[in-house]
Amino acid sequence: MELASISLILGALLLALLTAGLWVALALMAAGLTAIFLMVSVPPGAVMATTVWGSINSWDLAALPMFIWMGEILFRTRLAEDMFAGLAPWMRRLPGRLLHVNILGCAIFAAVSGSSAATTATIGRMSLPELRRRGYDERMAIGSLAGSGTLGLLIPPSIILIVYGAATEQSIARLFIAGILPGVMLAALFMGYTAVWALINRRRMPEPDVRVPYLQRLWQTRRLFPILALIAGVIGSIYGGFASPTEAAVVGVALSLLLSWLSGTLNRATFLEALRNGSRTSCMIILILAGASVLTVAMGYTGIPRALAQFIAEQGYSPYALLAALTLFFVVLGCFLDGISIVVLTASVILPMVEAAGLDIIWFGIYLVLVVEMSQITPPVGFNLFVIQGLTGHNILRVAGMTLPFFLMMIVAVVLIILFPQLALWLPQTMLAR
């Protein structure tokens, strides 16, 4: 009863603080300090000081501001325009034609951004006006953009995977590599659905574009080379064992500054704006991590995670039943919190249950990010929905309705990764062998 009572008190307190609009980081710290004060006779202030310092004094976290800054720099280049021009000529013969540019463009930009909102906004500013001008179905144009924009959370370098790695003390390099195949699989599911929809709804597709000669298509493809070189420099250096994630992040920043300079978009104003926005975002995430670390230590003192893990073990739930319940839990939670907050808020309580069920922690990180991706397109707090609402002016519920088929494709992806865990584990195992 004591654990049940303290759980209800902490849950109610945390919910009240979040509902009142308090910063997530401060709400987490307040809940953690309350738990320490109620359950143990140690000085809460000393615990908080040592815990906060220990959580942010990590070399692995140095990759976080670097990747965020890289995304901010590229956000201000003509990268999206170059991707559209390089991809569009090759999509003419696929069912769905230029709708696939949304998906492939988001997948490529995700590999250099790490942010779902930045990916959606950057590709959407370029693709939506062009697709509207050419007469493509608005529901599919918006739905494919909102769904594909979530790839920014999964395909490395992913900001949320860095946060998960720091919160669970897992290898960020292995998490990055583990996200590649599931990200490609999700993009393939989106493209498959788009192709089937286009074949069934031929009348809602515009007339085919004028045929582009093969040599001209090859010439247009040259505009993809800079971003492909950037992806190879960042991800290839990690997989090949030449650089840690932090070192690869520095390489990414250097290459993005070079690309921005070559494209003529690098000047004093854009440099300072990217640095300022990157610093602001990094500070916000680090503060959330610090707050989550206080709550994690407090949960350890209370014994709630151990009790939950023991309860799950005693019930004899299968891993599939546990994952089904967790999927529903995370989707509901995602209706009210952003992805990073979900990860840091639940890690201390969920991980003992996951370990008790015999699930791989690296695999669970990819599963968790996939489920959190779904929360990016669920109202009322779906960040991608807010971005597209700003781009189009449509009601957020209408945008969510347009995105529903791609939400269902994400459910298919979650089922596939549960049934075939090697989709997430095979590449990290080969990297470890190297």
Top pLDDT among 304 and 298 is at 298
Q: Is the peptide bond before 156 cis (omega within 30 degrees of 0)?
A: no
At residue 345, the pLDDT reads 72
Question: Kind and range of the H or E element at 256?
Answer: helix 245-262
Please name which of 429, 430, 433 lies closest in space to residue 363, comparing C-alpha atoms: 429
Taking CA atoms, 54 is separated from 50, 57, 356, in Å, by 6, 5, 26
* Least confident window among 31-45, 192-206, 333-347, 354-368: 333-347
193 pLDDT exceeds 60?
yes
Does residue 10 sit within a domain?
A: no
Tokens representing 275? 């640095």
151 pLDDT exceeds 60?
yes
* Least confident window among 112-126, 188-202, 315-329, 403-417: 112-126
Residue type, 9: I
At residue 1, the pLDDT reads 44
pLDDT confidence bin for 338, thresholds 50/70/90 = low
At residue 69, the pLDDT reads 83
pLDDT digits (tens, 9 = 90+) for 92-121: 778 888 888 888 888 887 777 666 777 777
Does residue 1 sit within a domain?
A: no
At residue 335, the pLDDT reads 67
Please name which of 319, 367, 376 lies closest in space to residue 346, comparing C-alpha atoms: 367
Does residue 314 sit within a domain?
A: yes
49 pLDDT exceeds 90?
no
Measure the CA dihedral 221/226/232/235, to 10°.
-120
At residue 46, the pLDDT reads 78
At residue 363, the pLDDT reads 93
Does residue 129 sit within a domain?
A: yes
Percent of the chain with pLDDT over 70: 90
SS3 state at 101: helix
434 pLDDT exceeds 60?
no
Distance of CA 131 to the CA centre of its chain: 25
In DSSP notation, 362-427 reads: HHHHHHHHHHHHHHTTSSSS-HHHHHHHHHH---HHHHHHHHHHHHHHHHHHHHHHHH-THHHHHH
Taking CA atoms, 187 is separated from 194, 327, 416, in Å, by 11, 20, 14
A 10 A CB-CB count for 80 gives 23
Residue type, 397: L
Does residue 11 sit within a domain?
A: no
Top pLDDT among 169 and 367 is at 367
Question: If DSSP states are collapsed to H, E and C, what string results for 160-214?
Answer: HHHHHHHHHCCCHHHHHHHCHHHHHHHHHHHHHHHHHHHHHCHHHCCCCCCCCCH
- 400-419: average pLDDT: 91
333 pLDDT exceeds 70?
yes
The whole domain housing 81 covers: 26-31+43-432
Q: CA angle, 425 as apex, 233 and 304 as ends, to 5°?
A: 115
Does residue 18 sit within a domain?
A: no
- 383-397: average pLDDT: 77
pLDDT digits (tens, 9 = 90+) for 51-100: 888 777 777 677 778 877 887 787 777 776 777 777 777 777 788 888 88
From CA 382, how far away is CA 371, in angstroms rounded?
13
Does residue 38 sit within a domain?
A: no
pLDDT digits (tens, 9 = 90+) for 133-144: 878 888 898 988
Q: Counting Cβ atoms within 10 Å, is residue 276 exposed (0-12), middle (13-18) or buried (19+)? A: exposed
Does residue 16 sit within a domain?
A: no
255 pLDDT exceeds 80?
yes
282 pLDDT exceeds 90?
no
In DSSP notation, 68-98 reads: HHHHHHHHTSSHHHHHHHHHGGGSTTSTTTT
Contact between residue 382 and residue 400 where contact means Cβ atoms under 8 Å apart: yes
Taking CA atoms, 27 is separated from 18, 40, 140, 202, 227, in Å, by 7, 20, 39, 51, 40
The torsion region of residue 108 among left (phi > 0), alpha (psi -120 to 50) and beta comes to: alpha
How many domains are there within the chain?
Answer: 1
